[in-house]
Structure 1
C-alpha cells in the first residue's frame, strides 16, 4: 500500500478536495441515493468554490492525505457545529472524514481520525461531534471503536432528499 502523507490543506487545494469529496461520496452512497439529487448535491457542496470558501474560513480546519506523488486520497474537515439542538459550549464538529476505498484499512482511517482529534484538542474542544448515515454500519462501528457514542438523530439533506443520520459525540476531556 502506498503510504499517506498528511498535511494541512491550503488555498490551492480546492480542486483536489472537490474531486476527492465527490469521488468518495459517490462511491459510498450511490447505492441508495437517487442519482439526480446526488449529482446536484455533489456539484454544490463538493465544488471547488465550496472548498475555497472553507479554506479561507479561519474557523475551519482541513487535513488532507496524499500519496508521495501528491494524489489526494483522504481528508477531514473540522468546524463549529451545526446541530444546535445537541451542541454545548466547547463542541467542534468533524464535518467530513473521507478516505478512498483502496486506502481503507491498515490504520489509515485511524490515522486520519487521530489528526482530526489532534486539531480538536488544539481548538480546545470539549466534545467532538459527527453525523453519520444510519445505514453506514462500517463507519458507525469505526467511530464507536474510537470513543464516539450516539447523542441523537438528525436529518442530512442530499439536495431535496432527506436521509437519517445518527449524531455521535466523543468526550475530548478524557
Structure 2
C-alpha cells in the first residue's frame, strides 16, 4: 500500500465525492436494503445539486483520502446549522466516514477519524457526535474503540423501511 494523503475537498471535488459516496454506500448497505430504495436514496443524497450545496456550505467540511491519484474514501463533518440533528454550537458532527471496500483494513477510516478529531480541536468544539445504523457492527465497533458512547437513537428512513441509528458522542479534551 502506498501512503494515503488526506486533502480538504473543494467544489471542484464534487464528482469525486459523488463517486466515492455512491460506491461506498452501495458496498455497505445494498445487501440489507431493497434495490429501489437504494436507488432512490442515492439519487437524492448524491445529486449534483445536493452535494454542490453541501460543498459550498461554510459549516460543512469534506476531506478526501487519496492513494496516489485514486480517491479511496472521504470524511464529511458538520458544525452549527449544517448539523443534521443536534444543532449544538459546541459540537461537531461526523456525518460520514466512507472508505471503499477495496481499502478496508488499511487504517484509512482511522486517518479520516483522526482528521475529524483535529478539526474538532481546531474549532474548539466540546464533543464529536454521529449516528450509526444499529446493524452496522463494524462501524459500531470502530467508534466504540475510539471512545464513543451511545446517548440515544433516531430513525433513518430508507425507502419504506424505518431503521434505527444509534447516536454516539465523544467528549474532546
* TM class by smaller structure: over 0.9
How big is the shift at 1:157?
2.1
Give 2:77's aligned residue. 78
How big is the shift at 1:160?
4.2
Give 1:137's aligned residue. 137
Give 1:168's aligned residue. 168
Q: TM-score, normalised by structure 1?
A: 0.92
Gaps of 5+ in 1: none
How big is the shift at 1:108?
1.7
Give 1:56's aligned residue. 56
- The 8 Å contact of residues 17 and 48 in structure 1, kept in 2 or not, is answered as no
How big is the shift at 1:3?
2.6
Give 1:26's aligned residue. 26
How big is the shift at 1:89?
4.5
Gaps of 5+ in 2: none
Equivalent pairs, count: 170
Give 1:101's aligned residue. 101
Task: Find out whether 1:147 has 2:152 as its counterpart.
Answer: no
3-state SS, counterpart of residue 12 of structure 2:
coil
Give 2:116's aligned residue. 116
Separation in structure 2 between the aligned mates of residue 21 and residue 48 of structure 1, nearest angstrom: 12
Give 1:126's aligned residue. 126
- The 8 Å contact of residues 14 and 49 in structure 1, kept in 2 or not, is answered as no
Give the 4+ runs in structure 1 shifted more than 4 A.
none
How big is the shift at 1:51?
1.6
Residue deviations 1:92-118 (CA, integer Å, cap 9, x gap): 110111001121223221111001111
- The 8 Å contact of residues 65 and 108 in structure 2, kept in 1 or not, is answered as no
- When you count helix as a share of all residues, which structure comes out higher? 2
Separation in structure 2 between the aligned mates of residue 17 and residue 88 of structure 1, nearest angstrom: 26
Separation in structure 1 between the aligned mates of residue 88 and residue 112 of structure 2, nearest angstrom: 25
